[in-house]
């Protein structure tokens, strides 16, 4: 009996040992994750991703994307971590052999550490002799590419509380400041901000611009259909563009004491007289009665010898006005049917004015001498065949310089064929042609088919500055100089007209 019991136990053991053990199979899927900035919706690269249950570590690519593979079926938590952002945990349900997509929006951390202030300014702090168009630069401190720093830059002019915002919320580490004044100290400051919005203001840096070039030449120039005023040295160097309006600014004249530039502008619809500093700043209108008339588009005016006043032509009236626009005084009225045009003023020879009068036709022109108070007109140059233009005094006031078209061409459009330079003593009735025409033996004779126009004596009195231009007025005008004898002609500037030289 005992043997039978043992046999039954052994048989049960064998049956149990032969029974198969069942293992539940594991099913997986994948998850496609896109990580974006919650405020800007821009992709966030290099964001660390992990899962619970753990399946591995991942990082997003440049498009903010990553694919998590072999993720167990069921509900899984996905954790996203990135510097400067709050950690985000999100759940996703994974289906066997399927790819689930999820978008995670990260919010910038509100407790991020403020960035370090910018450093290493360019130009160096306290620099001098800087150009009036200047690129400012700086460098971040203790920053990495992931910080994505942005900058604001403000600029202050000394003795001026107004600030210029040069840069706002940009990644650039340089910015160009334009329109700076000469011989002026400027202060600038960079504010650095990080992705969390935390900001740090940097130190205040300074620089001083170069001194204003002592340019002795002024002229008008037309570029791309826009006429403006420029100054330069005799070689065209240190070129300054003094005006930049879409209207016409022309006929510049430097005051005798060399502190202000007068000019004409049609910004109001009519040509008025203005003044400005020699660097183009502080532009100010000084007339209310226009500087216009027959063939006078703002060219009929002149400084007084002491620079305190100006005389100018307003149709058939000649006025004197203070340089600040006050004290307007009528000096003279032109003969019936005529208008005043170009003029000049000398204190030499007892003080005189020389004034051109013009009829409706541009070739109908005469030149008169007046007393400084506008009295006692005396005809100096009568109405000749061909146009007479642009009278001005010599330095000693004894001679008047002007132009005359010796071809005698009376054109209703004002065209001239062969305009020459002439001088005439104020006590004489005879003019002297000093232009060396084609075939002349003097050095640098005038090219045939061109006109010499708008002459003025140089400050020394031993040179003349004038414009030479093809008589069809198609090619750009050029500014030349010559001796007072007309010899030694020398071209100074291309595409320039109405010169002044002091």
pLDDT tens for residues 299-340?
999 999 999 999 999 999 999 999 999 999 999 999 999 999
Rounded alpha-carbon distances, angstroms, from residue 417 to 1, 127, 170, 407, 470: 153, 55, 59, 6, 9
Is the pLDDT assigned to residue 438 strictly greater than 70?
Answer: no
Is the pLDDT assigned to residue 355 strictly greater than 70?
Answer: yes
Give the CA diameter of the chain.
Answer: 170
pLDDT in tens, 41-69: 999 999 999 988 888 889 999 999 999 98
pLDDT in tens, 131-189: 999 999 999 988 776 668 999 999 999 887 788 999 999 999 999 999 898 999 999 99
Q: Name the residue among 417, 410, 412, 366 with its Cα closest to residue 389.
A: 366
% of the chain surpassing 90 pLDDT:
78
Task: Choose which CATH entry (3.40.50.720, 2.120.10.30, 1.20.140.10, 2.60.40.10) describes domain 217-501.
Answer: 2.120.10.30
Q: How big is the chain, counted in residues?
A: 502
Which residue in this structure is represented by tokens 């349900």?
A: 93
Which residues are paired to 493 by β-bridges? 479
Q: Which residues contact 145 (CB under 8 A, 6 or more apart)?
A: none
Q: What are the E-state strand segments in 38-148?
A: 48-52, 57-59, 65-72, 74-81, 88-94, 99-106, 119-122, 127-130, 134-139
More confident residue, 442 or 242: 242
Is the pLDDT assigned to residue 442 strictly greater than 70?
Answer: no
Average pLDDT of the chain is 91
Residue 204, classed as helix, strand or coil, is coil
Domain ranges within the chain, ordered by starting residue: 28-106, 119-209, 217-501
CATH-assigned architecture of domain 119-209: Sandwich (2.60)
CB contact at 8 A, 150 and 115: no
* C-alpha span between 488 and 469 (Å, rounded): 18
Same fold, 28-106 and 217-501: no
CATH 2.60.40.1120 describes domain 28-106? yes
pLDDT in tens, 89-114: 988 898 988 999 999 998 877 656 78
Provide the whole-model pTM.
0.72
């Amino acid at each position: 009996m005992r043997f039978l019991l043992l046999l039954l136990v052994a048989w049960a053991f064998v049956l149990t040992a032969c029974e198969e053990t069942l293992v539940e199979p594991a099913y997986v899927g994948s998850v496609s994750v896109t990580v974006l900035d919650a405020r800007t919706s821009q992709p966030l690269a290099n964001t660390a991703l992990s899962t619970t249950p753990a399946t591995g570590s991942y990082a997003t690519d440049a498009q903010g994307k990553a694919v998590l593979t072999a993720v167990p079926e069921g509900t899984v938590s996905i954790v996203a971590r990135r510097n400067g952002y709050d950690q985000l945990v999100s759940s996703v349900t994974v289906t066997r052999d399927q790819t689930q997509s999820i978008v995670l929006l990260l919010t910038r951390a509100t407790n991020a550490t403020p960035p370090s202030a910018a450093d290493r300014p360019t130009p160096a702090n306290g620099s001098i002799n800087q150009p009036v168009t200047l690129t400012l630069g700086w460098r971040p401190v203790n920053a990495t590419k992931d910080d994505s720093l942005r900058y604001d830059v403000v600029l202050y002019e000394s003795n001026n509380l107004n600030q210029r915002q040069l840069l706002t919320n940009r990644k650039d580490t340089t910015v160009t400041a334009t329109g700076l004044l000469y011989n002026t100290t400027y202060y600038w400051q960079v504010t650095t901000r990080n992705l969390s919005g935390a900001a740090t203001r940097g130190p205040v840096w300074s620089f001083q611009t170069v001194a204003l070039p002592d340019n002795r030449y002024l002229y008008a120039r037309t570029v791309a259909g826009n006429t403006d005023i420029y100054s330069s040295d005799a070689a065209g160097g240190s070129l300054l563009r003094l005006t930049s309006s879409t209207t016409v600014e022309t006929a510049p004249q430097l005051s005798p004491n060399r502190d202000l530039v007068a000019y004409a502008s049609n910004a109001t619809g009519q040509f008025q007289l203005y003044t400005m500093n020699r660097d183009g700043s502080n532009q100010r209108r000084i007339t209310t009665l226009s500087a216009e008339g027959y063939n006078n588009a703002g060219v009929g005016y002149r400084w007084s010898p002491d620079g305190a006043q100006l005389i100018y032509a307003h149709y058939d009236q000649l006025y004197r006005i203070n340089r600040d626009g006050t004290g307007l005084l009528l000096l003279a009225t032109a003969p019936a049917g005529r208008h005043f045009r170009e003029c000049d003023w000398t204190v030499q020879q007892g003080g005189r004015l020389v004034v051109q009068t013009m009829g409706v036709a541009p070739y109908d022109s005469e030149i008169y001498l007046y007393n400084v108070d506008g009295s006692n007109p005396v005809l100096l140059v009568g109405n000749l065949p061909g146009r007479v233009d642009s009278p001005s005094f010599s330095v000693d006031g004894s001679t008047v310089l002007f132009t005359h078209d010796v071809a005698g061409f009376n054109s209703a459009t004002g065209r001239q064929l062969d305009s020459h330079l002439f001088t005439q003593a104020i006590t004489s009735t005879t003019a002297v042609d000093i232009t060396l025409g084609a075939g002349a033996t003097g050095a640098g004779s005038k090219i045939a088919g061109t006109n010499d126009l708008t002459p003025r004596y140089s400050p020394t009195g031993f040179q003349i500055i004038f414009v030479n231009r093809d008589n069809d007025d198609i090619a750009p005008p050029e500014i030349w100089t010559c001796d007072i004898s007309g010899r030694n002609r020398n071209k100074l500037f291309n595409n320039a007209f109405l010169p002044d030289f002091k």
